[in-house]
A and B are shown apart, each in its own frame.
Chain A
Amino acid sequence: MDFGLPPESVELAEAVREYLAGTHGPDVLRRLDAGGNRDLRIWQGLVEMGLTGLLVPESEGGLGMTLLGGALIARECGRACLAEPLVDTALIAVPWQIARGETGDLAAIAAGEKLVALPHAANPWVADGEGDEFASVDPLRNLVAAPEDAGDDPLLLDLGALTSAAQLVGLAEAMLDQAVAYAQVREQFGHAIGGFQAIKHKLADVAVALEFVRPVLWRAAQAMDDGLASAPLHVSHAKYAATDAAYLAAESAIQVHGAMGYTYEVDLHFWMKRAWALAGAWGDRNFHYHRIEDAALGGAHPLGPQHTFA
């Protein structure tokens, strides 16, 4: 029994965080928003870091990491509000294809030559597919109509939900950081507003929420890696809790920014809108709640302290 995160995955996630902080700041989001939405140079940078091959077996030219390692990277994608379809391709499609024994595309995906966006019955659209566009509230999200024969494969749904939860956690962490940074410098009544308890306590509540979502996310990822029968319950728990934490972080962050937060000029809105979008993707809050209720209240899942890791 060891709930510690694997050091090599943490190190890689930190390197990705640093790389994205340096190359994918708010100025990049604004440039993409102004036109184009996608930038091959950003994609190429991700490929060069090996991220497209994160979950691809080493024999196919990838890094062969676990879903837990993938969740750590998805969180960094959220933190940077990355718009490139890395998560859909490398963290959803790859493990799904591996589970189905479809290895034909893996080398091309790892090499960054093939992008995959899979439809699912839970989503009325496909993010980053080819075809007619829906307009998302998120200006950097490209939605196309889902094919009518989109399947409802449960593993695919769990992969999408897990990685959405991870991105939501990263988005929420970034929004908290932005609110803290603003509260440290914005002065009213002769003080930085972060010195006022009304602001402190609001942001402390976000910190508490995040502290108790992260381990749920890691647990869900590990449950999928371990192939636990209860993994869907844990994935739903992670998605539901990450959704609530992200909404809380967004609403708290805009409130701390005051009128500035209600403008397009402050960076916050990119993160907030991505959070709203992902909250409804790959099973919304209602769907995941019902899955949790059915398992935990329905009696199939054992309750009580002696069943922590059931």
Chain B
Amino acid sequence: MDLAYTPRQQAFRQEVREWLAAHVPAERLVTLERQDGFDQHVAWERELASGNWGMVTWPSEYGGRGLDLIEWLIFEEEYWAAGAPLRANQNGIFLLGPTIMEFGSDEQKARFLPPMARGEVIWAQAWSEPGAGSDMAAIKTTARRDGDHYVINGQKTWSSRASFADWGFGLFRTEEGSQRHKGLSFLLFDLNAPGITRRPIRQLHGDPGFAELFFDEVRVPVENRIAGEGEGWKVAMATAGFERGLMLRSPGRFQATAARLMALLREAADRASPGLREEVVRLWMGAQAYAYNTYQVAARIMAGGSIGAEASLNKIFWSELDRAMHRAAMHLLGPAAELQTLPDGRANEWLEGYIFSLSGPIYAGSNEIQRNITAERLLGLPRVGAG
């Protein structure tokens, strides 16, 4: 164990810090759950790519810098410390990208990864269906083979980013009459393909962040399938692992929130009850613990290990930490918590953040599912009644 950064790592941090200081927009962007805000965030993705910061851990041939996980953590720490915008392409770069790198052909890697890293193609995910949420193996949307194409019919819903994104990825039933985890394939599709109807869904905050997708005889070339026909479940589980695991929610994001929360507590010190005060300090400790844990997992992976069902522990922890931090902020704001704009003229980011934090324990596999996974795969408790 060595908890000091090397001179090279320190120099890298400085380089990241300087680039961000010169490029992060001074004005906070409009929410990416709206078309105008989405466009602003896509422009930021391209700005990041212009500095070759789109996806720092990817190999250079796919538009990355080939950096290791420690350098990735440093980048993320500086990114969130600088108050840089949310990543419009997170479904692509953090979920689909690693999936293609693990399961895709060389041709698919060359075709899909560089435009993803450059922010030219923004990706949406299409897992859930009206009857298949937590129970994803219940999906019904079919992809019938017709020569060198699949023909998709059915419906996906709660598809993050699908209101505005360019392409989507998801699981489809390619074997007629197949049940549960069998007969599924992982397909990539153009969201503007003929036969796709997008119906944006107004989310809790009022903006259309995700969408329903209706597929009516949508033709998708066979070369858009990742891994073999019928191997979709295995691929999707790997993608879900990326989602819950290391990449999607780097600790920097929560440490930045915790630091802002501590600053808010200092401002409200006269009003905060002792209980709320201790809660805030505890939450800061939680964000630090999450960071240490991530560094430990990174060390394990760099030493040749992997992250398996432990990803469920991560997902439970960060999502409930994030919700608790924003809840504490709502209590600190008191009567101002309900205001969209605070009395000093600033947007009420805490309210926006609290609403968003309520989705954390639901998306990427609800926390109830994560607790089942933890109990069954990590603790070895029997699978009874969970279906």
Contacts and interface: CB of A to CB of B under 8 A. Distances in A.
How extensive is the interface on chain A, given as a class?
Answer: 35 or more
Interface stretch (B89-97, B111-119, B277-285): B277-285
Interface string A205-227: 10110011111101100110010
A74 interface: no
Nearest to B291: A308
B205 interface: no
B151 interface: no
Interface in A172-220: 176, 180, 183-184, 191-192, 194-197, 199-201, 203-205, 207-208, 211-216, 218-219
Nearest to A234: B288
A219 B3 contact: yes
A286 B274 CA distance: 12
Contacts of A5: 1
Nearest to B372: A200
B214 interface: no
Interface string A267-299: 000000000000000000000010011001100
A200 B299 CA distance: 29
A205 B371 contact: yes
Given A2-B1, A192-B382, A203-B381, A305 B296 contact: no
A30 B103 CA distance: 55
A53 B114 CA distance: 57
Given A194-B381, A208-B313, A289-B281, A218 B296 contact: yes
A300 interface: no
- The residue among B251, B298, B370, B381 with the most chain A CB atoms within 10 A of its own CB is B381
Interface residues of B, number: 64
Contacts of A222: 1, 3
Interface stretch (B4-12, B49-57, B163-171): B4-12
Interface string A122-150: 00000000000000000000000000000
A213 B313 CA distance: 12
A5 B295 CA distance: 11
B117 to A, nearest CB: 23
B1 A213 contact: no
B372 A3 contact: no
Contacts of A237: 285, 288-289
B310 A203 contact: no
B378 interface: yes
B207 interface: no
Contacts of B253: 305
Contacts of A4: 1, 296, 299-300, 303
B295 A3 contact: yes
A68 interface: yes
Contacts of B258: 303
A194 B292 contact: no
Looking at A68, A211, A214, A222, the one whose CB has the most chain B CB atoms below 10 A away is A211
B248 interface: no
B379 A211 contact: no
Nearest to B380: A180
A3 B313 contact: no
B80 interface: yes
Nearest to A216: B289
Nearest to B281: A293
B262 interface: yes
Contacts of A176: 379
A34 B221 CA distance: 75
Contacts of A213: 289
Interface stretch (B70-78, B139-147, B229-237, B355-363): B70-78
9 closest A-B pairs by CB: A195-B384, A200-B375, A215-B292, A305-B252, A194-B381, A4-B299, A305-B255, A204-B371, A204-B374
